[in-house]
Amino acid sequence: MEVILMERIEKLGQMGDVVSVKPGFARNYLLPQKKALRATKDNLARFERERTQLEAENLKRREEAERVAKDLEGLTVTVIRQAGESGQLYGSVNSRDVSEAVSAAGVTVARRQIDLGAVIKTLGLHKVRVQLHPEVVVTITANVARSDEEAKTQLESGRVVTAEDLRQAEEAAEAEIEAVVEAVAQEEAPEAEAESSEEAAPESSGDEASDSESEETKHACPPPATPPPETRAAPPRGGTRRFAFSLCCQARTRRPYPRFATYPHL
């Protein structure tokens, strides 16, 4: 099937060329996208009438694409995905993911402008073609990693971060933490010794003060003796009545009150 190209098509030709393509490719891609017209006499005559205008519009679009290409030159975008220890992704990265990452970096591109060739299924640095115009193509880098730290390491080393690299990084971080802790402990040791010596000095002065107080108490006069408290005699073996009678006699000698006043049962 012969068609007239309305713009440059890679591996086919330039604008205005009449090329022969497969019918399916023409019906499914070139004609619906308005990238070509059927090679009929009417379409050839129409193209020749509009050729100057079409070339001017194409030149304008190419200049705009070249300006955008300067911003994309050398760009690296980061795409975070989960993956196994072997580096195989749990899923894939497609053209939509890359276009969203490029747009987040400050340059708007459409999904159809991203040419992956095939979806990305592994970690690492992947080259991606961005077709801004049929005549302007720029290459960017897609950094696919598990985290931002891993993406930074991949970008610096230029290779995929494996599980062994992660273990080595963890061991190095633990060793660095231990070294910092030891350094801090060594710096705090003299201060701790100085504080302990300062605490020991007041304790010794307190012992001297207590010794002097004990010597003063030795030479001081003893306190006056207090009389022992009065104790009542235990009840004799004669019984309760005899014991009560003896108590009554003792009470009569101390204060006057009627006999058996406090013991009416006697």
From 251, 262, 36, select the one nearest 134 (Cα to Cα): 36
Query: Any idea what the Cα angle at residue 45 is, between residues 42 and 49, rounded to 5°?
Result: 135
Measured between alpha carbons, how far is 119 from 93 in angstroms, rounded to an integer? 6
**CATH for 76-165, options being 3.10.430.100, 3.40.228.10, 3.65.10.10, 3.40.50.1820:** 3.10.430.100
Cβ(35)–Cβ(74) under 8 Å?
no
Query: Any idea what the Cα angle at residue 48 is, between residues 42 and 53, rounded to 5°?
Result: 125
Measured between alpha carbons, how far is 16 from 112 in angstroms, rounded to an integer? 23
pLDDT digits (tens, 9 = 90+) for 20-36: 999 999 999 899 988 88
From 98, 62, 68, 105, select the one nearest 81 (Cα to Cα): 98
Cβ(89)–Cβ(123) under 8 Å?
yes
What's the CATH number for 2-65? 3.40.5.10
Copy the structure tokens of residue 85. Answer: 């220890």
Please report, for the chain, the start and end positions of each structural domain, with discontinuous segments joined by +: 2-65, 76-165, 235-266
Whole-prediction pTM value? 0.56
Q: Does an H or E element contain 171, and which?
A: helix 163-219
Cα separations in angstroms, 106 against 75, 103, 266? 11, 5, 118
Backbone φ and ψ for 140, nearest 5 degrees, come out as -120, 175
Q: List, as one string, the DSSP characters of 6-18.
A: SS-BTTTB-TT-E
pLDDT digits (tens, 9 = 90+) for 127-169: 999 999 888 999 999 999 998 888 888 888 877 766 666 666 6
Cα separations in angstroms, 199 against 11, 139, 211? 89, 71, 19
**pLDDT truncated to tens, each residue of the chain (266 aa)?**
899 888 888 888 888 889 999 999 999 989 998 888 899 989 889 888 888 888 898 889 899 999 999 989 889 999 999 988 888 899 899 999 999 999 998 888 889 899 988 899 999 999 999 999 888 999 999 999 998 888 888 888 877 766 666 666 677 777 888 788 888 777 777 766 766 666 665 555 555 555 555 555 555 555 555 655 555 555 555 555 565 656 656 555 555 545 544 545 54
Amino acid identity at 251: A
Q: Does an H or E element contain 155, and which?
A: helix 148-157
Q: CA-based Rg of the chain, rounded to a whole angstrom?
A: 53
Cα separations in angstroms, 243 against 86, 230, 239, 254, 262? 106, 17, 7, 17, 14
